[in-house]
């Protein structure tokens, strides 16, 4: 019996040691981070604020606020779920992370937080975001644009235009007009064929006539009735203004660069007397 008691005692010791050495896992199914974002002036909840939560261990969660400005991060975020599931709560019972709040119309805000995991729900303080004043959107030397995620491009001087090359912002010289070329040409050359429309002016891609001229997006040669347009993106929109029979005239022509790639250097816009409008020698709408 002594031998039997010894064996039993040894088995219990092994079980105890095994249990003592077991890593204490964290139950994460009901853990969550819940908060709200509001407008600083009205205290009303802000919808579609992008919430980015990043842990020191490299995981990241993304979420948007709902119509009441509220957001919820739980085990639906795989990165957080994996990280919490790997923790030994006996040794790591606190979670360091940062939250960034981002909205196009408001100033970005971020904060560092520490979550004591003995509490299943973590409630960050209510965040009040400050609305962006139009003049404050971009710093000195940069202008608003949609090409960059920051929303601000280099403010290129007169005679130059903005372009991204190899992921680097460039202010490029407008340079010599290229009349003929292929789809890689930087300019489109269009012949305007009409005598009916007088005092013609042109606006490009939503810019006003004045802005188009100031930024050097187009050059109009009245002697040759030719319009040279700088290619700054794929989709183009040309607005023609003028007078006909002493009445104001406006026509909008939209097209895609792909429709004109093979036509570069011989594009024409002709006046159609019957319909009192311009028609093009390439596909447009």
Q: What is the CATH number of the domain that holds 94?
A: 2.60.40.10
Domain membership flag for residue 11: no
Range of the domain at 145: 139-172
Cα dihedral value 207, 208, 213, 218, nearest 10: 50
pLDDT of residue 6 exceeding 60: no
Residue positions counted in the chain: 285
Domain count, the chain: 3
Domain membership flag for residue 21: no
Domain membership flag for residue 9: no
Predicted pLDDT of residue 176: 38
- From 101, 129, 157, give the residue that closes a domain: 129
Q: How confident is the model at residue 163 (pLDDT cuts 50, 70, 90)?
A: confident
Task: Say yes or no: 269 and 184 in one domain.
Answer: yes
Domain membership flag for residue 23: no
- Tell me the C-alpha distance between 247 and 33, whole Å: 63
The secondary structure element, H or E, covering residue 165 is strand 160-165
Domain membership flag for residue 198: yes
Q: Which of 10-14, 51-55, 126-130 has the lowest mean pLDDT?
A: 10-14
Predicted pLDDT of residue 259: 67
Task: Say yes or no: 180 and 276 in one domain.
Answer: yes
**Is 7 strand, coil or helix?**
helix
Task: Say yes or no: 187 and 233 in one domain.
Answer: yes
**Average pLDDT, stretch 133-147?**
71
* Residue percentage of the chain with pLDDT more than 90: 13
- Tell me the C-alpha distance between 234 and 31, whole Å: 47
Which residues are CB-contacts of 165 (< 8 A; sequence separation ≥ 6)?
A: none
CA angle 185/210/194 to nearest 5° reads 65
Domain membership flag for residue 86: yes
């Amino acid at each position: 019996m002594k031998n039997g008691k010894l064996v039993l005692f040894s088995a219990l010791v092994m079980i105890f040691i095994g249990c003592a050495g077991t890593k204490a896992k964290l139950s994460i199914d009901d853990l969550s981070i819940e908060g709200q974002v509001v407008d600083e002036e009205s205290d009303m909840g802000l919808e579609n604020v992008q919430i980015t939560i990043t842990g020191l261990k490299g995981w990241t969660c993304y979420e948007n606020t709902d119509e009441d400005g509220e957001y919820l991060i739980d085990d639906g975020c795989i990165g957080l779920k994996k990280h919490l599931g790997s923790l030994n709560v006996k040794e790591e019972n606190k979670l360091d992370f940062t939250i960034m709040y981002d909205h196009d119309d408001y100033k970005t805000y971020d904060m560092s937080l520490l979550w004591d995991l003995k509490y299943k729900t973590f409630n960050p303080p209510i965040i009040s975001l400050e609305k962006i004043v139009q003049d404050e959107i971009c710093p000195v030397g940069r202008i608003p644009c949609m090409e960059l995620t920051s929303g601000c491009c280099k403010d290129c001087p007169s005679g130059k235009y903005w372009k991204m090359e190899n992921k680097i912002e460039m202010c490029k010289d407008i340079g010599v007009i290229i009349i003929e070329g292929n789809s890689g040409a930087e300019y489109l050359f269009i012949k305007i064929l009409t005598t009916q429309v007088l005092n013609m002016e042109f606006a490009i891609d939503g810019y006003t006539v004045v802005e188009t001229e100031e930024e050097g997006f187009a050059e109009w040669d009245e002697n040759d009735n030719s319009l040279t347009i700088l290619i700054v993106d794929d989709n183009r929109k040309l607005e023609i203004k003028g007078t006909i029979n002493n009445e104001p005239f406006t026509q909008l022509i939209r097209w895609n660069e792909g429709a004109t790639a093979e036509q570069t250097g011989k594009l024409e816009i002709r006046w159609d007397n019957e319909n009192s409008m311009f028609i093009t020698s390439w596909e447009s709408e």
